[in-house]
Structure 1
Amino acid sequence: MSDSHGNTPAAWTAVTIGLLAFTVGGIGLVIGSMLVFWIGVALAPVALVAGAVMTKVGLGGRDHSTERQVDRGREKAH
């Protein structure tokens, strides 16, 4: 698990796209445009996909699992 608390490029991108999606959808409801509303709805899953893809390519924070294994090995050696 990462100790970045969501402060990664993947998290920021996903949150920004998600915020944009809800803003566009909300504006679409207020102005009565179902086209704009559905564009906002279509952007919401894009946020999830973008965050997941960016995490997979290494922009989602460090993976500490290998560090923990190394630390455990050091503890056994002492």
Structure 2
Amino acid sequence: MAGSSHGHGHTPAAWTGVIISFIGFLVAGAFMVMANTVGFWAGMVLILGGAVVGGIMRAMGLGSDPKPLKMVGAPVATPEPVAVEG
């Protein structure tokens, strides 16, 4: 699967959201080690902010277009409906 790419995460919306969230993790981690509660929660807000910004950018058209999944292998047989006489 190393050579297959479906465009997962290769968009400006994904990159921006992940970078902001990563900075939030760094901030929260640093302030957690320093035992600073306010700084820790500021980092947590940055993490959520990254998700919000990524979602807004995706809604603006900077994310990937949803594509239907391709079926791999043989199709699964579905049972035929059974007529019930009564």
Q: Provide the TM-score with structure 1 as the length reference.
A: 0.72
Distance 1:43 1:35 in 2: 13
Query: Residue 42 of structure 1: CA displacement?
Result: 1.0
Q: Does 1:62 align with 2:81?
A: no
Q: Provide the TM-score with structure 2 as the length reference.
A: 0.66
Query: Residue 7 of structure 1: CA displacement?
Result: 0.5
What is the aligned residue count?
63
Structure 1 moving runs of 4+ over 6 Å? none
Query: Residue 39 of structure 1: CA displacement?
Result: 0.4
Aligned residue identity for 2:32: L
Q: RCO higher in 1 or 2 (8 Å CA, sep ≥ 6)?
A: 1
Query: Residue 34 of structure 1: CA displacement?
Result: 1.1
Q: Does 1:40 align with 2:47?
A: no
Please show how residues 1-78 of structure 1 align to structure 2 within 5 Å: 3-64=6-67
CA displacement, residues 5-41 of structure 1 (integer Å, 9 cap, x when unaligned): 1110000001001101110000001111111101001
CA-based RMSD of the aligned residues comes to: 1.4
Aligned residue identity for 2:7: S
Which has the larger share of helix? Answer: 1
Stretches of structure 2 lacking an aligned partner (at least 5 in a row): 1-5, 69-86
Stretches of structure 1 lacking an aligned partner (at least 5 in a row): 66-78
Query: Residue 4 of structure 1: CA displacement?
Result: 1.6
